[in-house]
Amino acid sequence: MDYLQILKDLVALDTSVPPGNHYKEAMDYLEPFFQQCGFLTQQINIPPEQAEGRNGRVNLICRRANPSHPRLIFYAHIDVVPAQGWPAFKPRLDEGKLYGRGAADMKGAIPALLLALEKGRGCNLNYDISVIITTDEEDSQASQLRYISQFLQPLKGAYFFDLDSNFGYVSIANLGALQMDIMVKGRSVHSGLSHLGENAVEKAALMLEALMRLKNRVAARKSSILTHPDTGLDRMTARLNINMIEGGLKVNIVPDQCTISIDRRLIPEENLTEARKEIMDTLAAVPDVNWEIVKEFSIPTLPPCNNPITDKLAAILKEVTGESGKYGEMGSGDLANIVVNEWGALEFGMGVIRTESNIHGINEFVYLKDIEDLAEIIYRFLT
């Protein structure tokens, strides 16, 4: 199996979300490879009402049944974030690295899995295995995951191996998330008569000052869970970022509204209820500002996965690469919450992302050696 050609072909498919095109082509391309590895396959067309109204969402489910063994489900997604300013969908090989959008996040892990499954085709495997290739992870996919759960049974007590993870260690925890759009309201008038209006942008500046003071307090909170040294952090750390501000129509019009978008990331020791109250109390304490929350999204926090299976994976990683460890990741996603809280399963991960891979940025790349090593690690894990 030519894993490099598979990766090149996947990267060349522009599966950016939005808009989320070419998903069907990606699944049609991958399905025969899983069949060659001895898996039964099924493409699942997601109804638009289970995909936030989006059309063309299709997931791939692959199964090699072994019912008397523990249940193991590999997770991957085929979508990528948009790219501009570089030839992101023309894969380029240079000194052991493959450049292209999605090379590390996370298309590179899929050929690694295929290599492992091909090598293990004639072997007695330790698990009852399924593989899911999903869509819209880079947007929102919770409803899609819930829909495909009917095709993944049994789920309770299963192990979920998340390939959308970093290489060089076992991922055992993620950050929770709370995102809010805060609309500050004013009254629009001609700029020369500003005393008759109320400037929403200037009022929003007062809210920003209060949020920045809260940000400093939040950023001082550290988890007991270690992070990999490549992050530049010693432990998982809470975050509050003001990532978007939008307001005003024209320079000579006093604006009647301004929207502030904040992204709060929670360490496992925090919880959503308290984090939300802290933000609301901070906003409410700013006098003489009319505001409301117009959009909100959240992902709960979870305790770390310290199951012995993560020790097993870390030991295999050490054998293959000399690297090892179990760490928390400074990212969030829909998967872990659904897997743990709704399906009663365990979630951990290892992929081909490294800090220097510059995922979501210009010249994203993956090390070919990491793909080869991950394939060997998965093979040993299975056998």
Is 203 in the same domain as 319? no
Euclidean distance between CA atoms 105 and 354, whole angstroms: 10
pLDDT band at 147 (very low <50, low <70, confident <90, very high): very high
Is 236 in the same domain as 151? no
What is the residue-averaged pLDDT of the chain?
A: 97
Is 323 in the same domain as 283? no
Q: Residue 102: which region, alpha, beta or left (left: phi > 0; alpha: psi -120 to 50)?
A: left
pLDDT band at 7 (very low <50, low <70, confident <90, very high): very high
Tokens at 220, concatenated: 């001082």
Q: How many CB atoms lie within 10 A of CB 195?
A: 7
pLDDT at residue 208 greater than cutoff 90: yes
The string of pLDDT tens digits covering residues 300-322 is: 999 999 999 999 999 999 999 99
Domain limits at 190?
176-299
Is 125 in the same domain as 27? yes
**Of all residues in the chain, what percent carry a pLDDT higher than 90?**
98
pLDDT at residue 299 greater than cutoff 90: yes
Looking at residue 211, what is its pLDDT?
98
Is 42 in the same domain as 89? yes
Is 164 in the same domain as 185? no
Is 266 in the same domain as 242? yes
pLDDT at residue 268 greater than cutoff 90: yes
pLDDT band at 240 (very low <50, low <70, confident <90, very high): very high
Looking at residue 333, what is its pLDDT?
87
Residue 234: burial class (beta carbons within 10 Å; 0-12, 13-18, 19+): exposed
Looking at residue 32, what is its pLDDT?
98
pLDDT at residue 167 greater than cutoff 90: yes
The string of pLDDT tens digits covering residues 78-98 is: 999 999 999 999 999 999 999
CATH number at residue 289: 3.30.70.360
Is 151 in the same domain as 237? no
Is 141 in the same domain as 282? no
**Total-model pTM:** 0.91
- Of the three residues 299, 326, 350, the one that is the final residue of a domain is 299
CATH number at residue 309: 3.40.630.10
Find the mean pLDDT for residues 164-181.
Answer: 97
Find the mean pLDDT for residues 270-291.
Answer: 98
- Of the three residues 271, 299, 327, the one that is the final residue of a domain is 299
Is 125 in the same domain as 240? no
Is 202 in the same domain as 233? yes
pLDDT at residue 100 greater than cutoff 90: yes
**Residues contacting residue 180 through CB under 8 Å, at least 6 positions apart:** 261, 262, 264, 279, 293, 295, 296
Looking at residue 110, what is its pLDDT?
98
**Of all residues in the chain, what percent carry a pLDDT higher than 70?**
100
- Of the three residues 299, 327, 352, the one that is the final residue of a domain is 299
Q: How many domains does the chain divide into?
A: 2
Is 273 in the same domain as 337? no
